[in-house]
Amino acid sequence: MHFEEELSLCAPRDDFMTTTIMMSGWLLHIIEEETMHMRYTDSLKDIDPHQAEEMFDASSRYLLFPLKRAVADALLPHLEMVPPAELCHWLILSDMYGISKIREYCLDAMACNFETFAETREFRAMLLTLPPPSGDSSLRTTAPSAPGAEVNSAEENLLDDLREKWLEAEASELDKRDESALLFDRRLEMLMLVAEREKSDDDGFQCSLSASSAVMQK
């Protein structure tokens, strides 16, 4: 099925025209341009990652699921060249907007290169924003979802999924999976402690800057 045919099934044309008019002018222009390209190729041309984020938001908000899938396909080649800090950003976005292909790619990369990510400050900071793994159910919360995100019947947890990916990457034997999972959870706890200390240091530095600025203005 072609992109335009799928798009017509998502919403009546009057509704589609109404929602696109609500978009910012530049985003509407990009979506129209990409739709014309897909009429002949069934795929998007090379996409700017900054535009991809805006298009994920628009496609989720206005239920343009074919566009969301096409943007994900176009974005994947870019992710092969981005640093760990940027992959953390895309993991959070893909989880929020329900983009399973991007989510799986980021989790696979993190599981296979876990120590590299563990040394990345953005990864440690990200851990503080996520619901804890299910092994600590007393603290578990519900992950946020964006408008139009695809909802699964079973609540997904990023750290649970990362742990499973890591166990697969480490090829843990079945009789040792519980032990390996516990080691992984303890490693996460250590990284979170480091992240909390880094956040505290940053907050203290900002307070010092504010105090110095106040003194200078007197």
Distance of CA 147 to the CA centre of its chain: 14
User: In the prediction, which pLDDT does 139 show?
Assistant: 41
Per-residue pLDDT tens digits for 28-43: 555 555 554 555 455 5
User: In the prediction, which pLDDT does 42 show?
Assistant: 54
User: Distance between CA 44 and CA 41 in Å, rounded?
Assistant: 8
User: In the prediction, which pLDDT does 31 show?
Assistant: 57
User: In the prediction, which pLDDT does 58 show?
Assistant: 86
User: Distance between CA 130 and CA 120 in Å, rounded?
Assistant: 16
Those residues with Cβ within 8 angstroms of residue 60's Cβ, 6 or more apart along the chain or in another chain? 68, 97, 98, 146, 147, 148, 149
User: In the prediction, which pLDDT does 140 show?
Assistant: 37
HSE (side-chain half, CA atoms, 13 Å) at 51:
18
User: In the prediction, which pLDDT does 135 show?
Assistant: 67
Overall pTM surpassing 0.85 (yes/no): no
Q: What parts of the chain have a pLDDT lower than 50?
A: 1-22, 26, 36, 40, 137-149, 151-154, 215
